[in-house]
DNA sequence: ATCACCTTGTACCAATCGGTACAAGCCGTC
DNA sequence: GACGGCTTGTACCGATTGGTACAAGGTGAT
């Protein structure tokens, strides 16, 4: 019938928003159709694997974004403290001060965790590893750096939960500032 | 047909486990029937309001448990530090070292948040208030106590997310120990 | 023993789920 | 301008969703 070459590149972020808002099982094809403007025909043409493939590609694109905008800068920053500061700025902007939710965290808590276990683990270990790397350069020993990185990532996830629970973005802002200060404190 | 007086008191915890494992929307009546051993007839006899009422009562029972076992002891403990230590022990046991997930957190992240917004807010504000109360008694000023309590609760939630994401309960144990030390440090 | 009431299993309901089939149409290529 | 290959809308599929109706059966009070 038509040809609108709806590019994957613009569909995947729309899919991401649907999964974020409704979770994996809650993201029905009806919602996906509505959010993307694509009928089932197009959807299954682009993603023959159905919902599962859509979610996999969304998770892959998220991982790519974090790699490009957070993990890599964390590793290549001339000044590790500056790299960490940039990370917190990127996180605040990515999660819209807590209004946006972390899809990977949502998946991890849900029943679909097993389906996407690899992607979930890759995301979090990638983040913790990159941050721990910066912390070592900052002068922390290996064990302390890993532990501190883990604690920081976990606090960000918790901040997203609590922010949504209390429906107050100031929670997120406060939490981010606190973790930032802890992480950037002199070893 | 039968009479088995399946008491509410034993059904609600079973419901809680189903909601925890599958989320609100993911907890289908088929799963609920299987987990409780109760047919639809009994289920809708006990909970005329359907799934929503089941979830509300589960959330209420969770709030009651936390009030009895955590918030109240936190307030009435002769030694505030002992009360806080007891809280961490209770949390570790309740969440089975991170193998169990926080239903309230799961709901807060999901699409059903608006349906249960009141219960979710009550749970978290209750927790933060009680902990902040203990921290004041420990010598922190009002603002610092609130801030520290918020940070502790949020770290516990984040620890649950990360523990499930990495499928490693040691994450939870480490995180809990860290937060405990931060919170119990001399003001 | 009777009776009213509570509990329960089963059949059933419309709506929606994820997914498939396929014809109709648009496109670039020759 | 005809062709072949993508892209798309629509109709359709069986399975499952949350929920209702109700008859059958069990229980306790009398």
The reply to whether residue B22 touches residue A111, judged by beta carbons under 8 angstroms, is yes
Name the pLDDT band for B6 (thresholds 50, 70, 90).
low
**What is the predicted pLDDT for the residue at A186?**
81
Q: Which of B109, B157, B167 shows the shortest C-beta gap to A106?
A: B109
CATH number at residue B97: 1.10.357.10
B73: which 2 tokens? 């002891």
The answer to the question of residue A129 being in a domain is: yes
**What is the predicted pLDDT for the residue at B179?**
98
Mean pLDDT, consecutive 10-residue stretches, chain A (187 aa), reads: 63 96 96 94 95 97 98 96 98 98 97 96 98 98 98 98 98 98 92
Residue B1 has pLDDT above 60, yes or no: no
Cβ-Cβ contacts under 8 Å for A44 (sequence gap 6 or more): A50
Name the pLDDT band for B41 (thresholds 50, 70, 90).
very high
SS (H, E, C) chain B: CCCCCCCHHHHHHHHHHHHHHHHHHHCCHHHHHHHHCCCHHHHHHHCCCHHHHHHHHHHHHHHHHHHHHHHHHHHHCCCHHHHHHHHHHHHHHHCHHHCCCCHHHHHHHCHHHHHHHHHHHHHHHHHHHHHHHHHHHCCCCHHHHHHHHHHHHHHHHHHHHHHHHHCCHHHHHHHHHHHHHHHHCCC
- Among the listed residues B23, B144, B118, B130, the one whose alpha carbon sits nearest the alpha carbon of residue A167: B118
- Among the listed residues A128, A146, A127, A126, the one whose alpha carbon sits nearest the alpha carbon of residue A136: A146
The answer to the question of residue B15 being in a domain is: no
Q: Measured between alpha carbons, how far is A26 from A19 in angstroms, rounded to an integer? A: 8
**What is the predicted pLDDT for the residue at A4?**
54
What count of other Cβ atoms lies within 10 Å of the Cβ of residue A184?
14
The answer to the question of residue B22 being in a domain is: no
The answer to the question of residue A31 being in a domain is: no
Phi, psi of A47 (to 5 degrees): -125, 80
Q: What is the mean pLDDT of chain B?
A: 95
Q: Which of B109, B161, B171 shows the shortest C-beta gap to A164?
A: B109
Which residues of A make CB contacts under 8 Å with B? Answer: 21-23, 25-26, 101, 104-106, 108-111, 113, 117, 120-121, 123-125, 147, 150-151, 153-162, 164-167, 171, 174-175, 178
Which positions in chain B touch A100 (Cβ < 8 Å)? none
Instruction: Read off the pLDDT of residues A92-132 as tens digits, 9 standing for 90 and up.
Output: 999 999 999 999 999 999 999 999 999 999 999 999 999 99
Instruction: Read off the pLDDT of residues B54-102 as tens digits, 9 standing for 90 and up.
Output: 999 999 999 999 999 999 999 999 999 999 999 999 999 999 999 999 9
Instruction: Read off the pLDDT of residues B99-128 as tens digits, 9 standing for 90 and up.
Output: 999 999 999 999 999 999 999 999 999 999
Q: Measured between alpha carbons, how far is A84 from A187 in angstroms, rounded to an integer? A: 14
* pLDDT average, residue stretch B160-185: 98
* pLDDT average, residue stretch B180-187: 93
The answer to the question of residue A23 being in a domain is: no
Name the pLDDT band for B47 (thresholds 50, 70, 90).
very high
Distance from CA of B123 to the nearest CA of A (A): 9
- Per-position DSSP letters for A4-48, written without gaps between them: ----HHHHHHHHHHHHHHHHHHH--HHHHHHHH---HHHHHHH-T
Please report, rounded to whole angstroms, the spatial distance between the CA atom of protein residue A68 and the C1' atom of nucleotide C27.
Answer: 36
The answer to the question of residue A164 being in a domain is: yes
Number of domains in chain B: 1
ipTM of the complex: 0.93
Full domain range(s) for residue A125 = 56-184
The answer to the question of residue B45 being in a domain is: no
Angle A139-B152-B74 (CA atoms, 0-180°, nearest 5)?
A: 140
The answer to the question of residue B39 being in a domain is: no
């Amino acid at each position: 019938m038509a040809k609108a070459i709806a590019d994957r590149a613009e569909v995947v972020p729309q899919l991401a928003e649907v999964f974020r808002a409704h979770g994996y099982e809650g993201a029905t094809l009806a919602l996906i159709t509505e959010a993307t403007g694509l009928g089932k025909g197009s959807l299954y043409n682009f993603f023959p694997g159905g919902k599962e493939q859509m979610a996999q590609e969304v998770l892959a694109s998220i991982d790519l974004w974090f790699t490009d905008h957070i993990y890599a800068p964390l590793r290549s920053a001339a000044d590790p403290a500056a790299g960490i500061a940039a990370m917190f700025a990127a996180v605040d902007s990515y999660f819209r001060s807590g209004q946006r939710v972390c899809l990977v965290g949502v998946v991890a808590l849900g029943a679909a965790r097993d389906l996407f276990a690899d992607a979930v683990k890759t995301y979090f270990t990638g983040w913790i590893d990159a941050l721990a790397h910066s912390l070592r350069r900052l002068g922390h020993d290996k064990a302390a750096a890993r532990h501190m990185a883990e604690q920081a990532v976990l606090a960000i996830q918790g901040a997203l939960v609590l922010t949504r629970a209390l429906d107050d973005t100031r929670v997120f802002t406060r939490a981010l500032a606190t973790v930032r200060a802890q992480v950037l404190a002199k070893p």
